[in-house]
């Protein structure tokens, strides 16, 4: 059983930076790719960033490149997400994910999903 616990969310101001953290535990978690997703109010959950099991490879949502950095402490199974220059559109529940996979691969509808999810942490950006 994989457990993911997010921390670091809260109320921030436009232009601030925020660091979210995810503590992962459970069987096999060190061998999984890890990621962050977010769900803005009234919208579907969307991919934010992914990092490989080794921490050597990273992928980012195109719309967020340049403002976010995902990192991984493989020794302690912690995955962080740094979000810089926050804007109101970053307001969302941010979810940590483990074992990130491609859903509907090879089709126009392909998208990232994950087999394990945390409960999420709320980030609210105030103008």
For residue 75, give Cα distances in angstroms to 30, 64, 65, 71, 98.
9, 27, 26, 12, 16
CA separation, residue 59 to residues 30, 41, 63, 96 (Å): 18, 24, 12, 15
pLDDT value of residue 91? 98
Residues of the chain with pLDDT under 70: none
Percent of the chain with pLDDT over 90: 92
The whole-number pLDDT of residue 109 equals: 85
Strand (E) or helix (H) holding 12: strand 10-13
Q: Which residues lie across from 62 on neighbouring strands?
A: none
- Largest distance between two CA atoms of the chain: 42
């Amino acid at each position: 059983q994989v457990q993911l616990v997010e921390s670091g969310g809260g109320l921030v101001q436009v232009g601030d930076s925020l660091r979210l953290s995810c503590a992962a535990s459970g069987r096999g978690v060190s061998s999984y790719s890890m990621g962050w997703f977010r769900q803005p109010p009234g919208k579907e959950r969307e991919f934010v960033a992914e990092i490989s099991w080794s921490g050597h490879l990273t992928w980012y949502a195109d719309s967020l490149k340049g403002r976010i950095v995902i990192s991984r402490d493989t020794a302690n199974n912690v995955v962080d997400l740094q979000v810089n220059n926050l804007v109101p559109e970053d307001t969302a529940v941010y979810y940590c994910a483990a074992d990130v996979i491609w859903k509907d691969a090879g089709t126009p509808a392909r998208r990232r999903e994950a087999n394990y999810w945390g409960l999420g942490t709320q980030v609210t950006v105030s103008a």
